[in-house]
Amino acid sequence: MLPMTFSNLLLEKKNAIASVTVNRPKVLNALNSATLEELRAAFSDIKNDPSVRVALLTGAGEKAFIAGADIGELATLGTVAAKEYTHRGQSLLDLIENLGKPVIACINGFALGGGCEIALACTMRLASENARLGQPEVKIGIIPGLGGSQRLPRLVGKGMAMQLVTTGEMISAQEAHRIGLVNEVTAPAALLARAEAIAQKIIANAPLAVQFAMEAVSKGMEMPLAEGLYLEAVLFAVACATEDKKEGTAAFLEKRAAQFKGR
């Protein structure tokens, strides 16, 4: 397969990890429609590439992960175009959230508006000490449109989400960690290495088990407890029918490393 070429992104694959970098540093990696469509193409490729087990998402340069939407483009949107814009953006974030493979957001600077929303759709979020996060849409007369009003309260609670979306204030990486918006904070130079270390731990595990565990958590969050427990039982049973389960239990009993095949 020929490598994909992009105008606004970099996509690299190595050691079962796909690294996606939004590459518009002159505009702090702002999201325009072209960039959103390239992200869709990149993550569709990652989803369908069996050699990729984990994806990392970051921004080029030292200032921004993704500083938000392209305001010049937003300023021209009428009602119909705005509705289409949000639906297309939301479908991209749904793709990222339900990729079937973990996606680690490596937040290396500003993650504002749509940038924060993309991070929210990732499986987990790591932030460098200089990261700043927020949903400042109300400052320009709009509201979050790529899932921020829905994913943020599910992650940090209603009260904190209300504070962030009504004040539009930016918070530090340390505050984001305190409220549960990011998993860990690292030194800027250590961010990608830490993400890769987590990725390697995931890669060592059974691929289908990782996928089913993610589905149980994500889908179960949207269900009453009884339904979530039923979903867990079904996915547990499906996992028990895989070749990887036979290999994993045998390897444990034989005190050797498991050789998982994703089957």
How many whole angstroms separate alpha carbon 163 and alpha carbon 171?
A: 11
- Could you tell me the CA-to-CA distances from 61 to 84, 109, 110, 234 in Å, in that order? 30, 9, 11, 44
What are the tens digits of pLDDT across the range 88-124?
A: 999 999 999 999 999 999 999 999 999 999 999 999 9
pLDDT, residue 75, reads 87
Question: What does the longest C-alpha to C-alpha distance in the chain come to?
Answer: 64
Confidence of residue 2 (pLDDT cuts 50, 70, 90): very low
How many whole angstroms separate alpha carbon 244 and alpha carbon 256?
A: 14
Residues with catalytic function: 117, 137
pLDDT, residue 10, reads 96
Query: What is the reported pTM?
Result: 0.94
Q: What average pLDDT score do residues 207-223 get?
A: 96
Amino acid letter, 141: G
Question: Which tokens sit at 85?
Answer: 């814009």
Cα first-last separation, the chain: 23
What are the tens digits of pLDDT across the range 50-72?
A: 999 999 999 999 999 999 888 88
Domains of the chain in start order, with CATH, are 9-203 (3.90.226.10), 207-253 (1.10.12)
Task: Pick the closest to residue 56 from 191, 249, 256 (CA basis).
Answer: 191
